[in-house]
Structure 1
Amino acid sequence: MTTTRPTTSPVRNIALWVLQIAVAGYFLMSAMAKFTNVEPAASTFEAIGFGDWFRHLTGVLEVAGAVALVVPPLAGLAGLALAVLMVFATLTEAFVSKGGVVTPLVLLVLCALIAWSRRSATARLRPRISAGR
């Protein structure tokens, strides 16, 4: 059985890479704020009752996601993981800290777009993972 890879126009591919790099940059900056105790990151995590450990864990997840966004085989999976993270960020902002939900919602949409656009690369990871490579 032969499978064909979906073709992507060069312009669309470049635009997607620009988006991935921009989103990765945002998540790196966001993570640095969590590691350096910059406001409002510190007070937000304190207000939701999780404190420093969860703030640092979130920062680590953001760094891992940002790095994976610029690794071609991992970009789709990173987009999916960061989209899930943004679902929880949106819910936390809306119901716990009563903050603005616009930023996490925009990031959720952008990460979901990356995950969808890079789904073929993500699908190619499955046989490699199940084979133990």
Structure 2
Amino acid sequence: MDRITTYALFAIKAFLSIAFLAAGGAKLYGVAMMVGTFDMIGVGQWFRYLTGVIEVAAAILLWVPGLRAIGAGALLVTMIGAIIAHLAILGPSAMPAAVLGLLAGVVLYAHRREFARTPG
């Protein structure tokens, strides 16, 4: 990677980490807005905890060599679910989830070779 690409990827990962540590932490802490959002979804609060754990863990994995693609993939899948939830249940505010999903997709693409590596 050239220098500009390296810095851009670093900035994207930093932004995603901050966003998902905050969002996942709010879910795990039980911020009222998050509790209400997951009540509207109707699956149960266990799903809020699961989503929070995935978001926090994936944000951390973005920085672990060999696991960055897994972290980015987990965030991408989570954001696809968020887009579906917004469009089907919560309302038309799916754009933030779409932007975060797109950024996670960029990171996933940048680290796609990590999936080809075999242990040992």
TM-score (norm 1): 0.84
Distance 1:90 1:27 in 2: 15
- CA apart distance, 1:99: 4.5
2:103 paired residue number:
110
**Is 2:4 the counterpart of 1:11?**
yes
Choose 89-98 or 114-123, whichever is displaced more.
114-123
Choose 110-119 or 45-54, whichever is displaced more.
45-54
Unmatched 5+ residue regions in structure 1? Answer: 1-7
1:63 paired residue number:
56
**Is 2:82 the counterpart of 1:89?**
yes
- CA apart distance, 1:59: 0.3
Equivalent AA in structure 2 for residue 93 of structure 1: H
2:71 paired residue number:
78
Q: Aligned Cα RMSD in Å? A: 1.3
1:43-62 residue pairs with structure 2 within 5 A?
Answer: 43-62=36-55
**% same residue:** 32
Distance 2:96 2:34 in 1: 14
Distance 2:2 2:116 in 1: 20
Distance 1:26 1:123 in 2: 28
Larger radius of gyration: 1
Q: Which runs of 4+ in 1 moved over 4 A?
A: none
1:5 paired residue number:
none
Choose 105-114 or 70-79, whichever is displaced more.
70-79
The count of residues paired between Structure 1 and Structure 2 equals 120
Unmatched 5+ residue regions in structure 2? Answer: none
Distance 1:21 1:123 in 2: 25
TM-score (norm 2): 0.92
Choose 103-112 or 13-22, whichever is displaced more.
13-22
Partner SS state of residue 19, structure 2: helix
Distance 1:67 1:43 in 2: 26
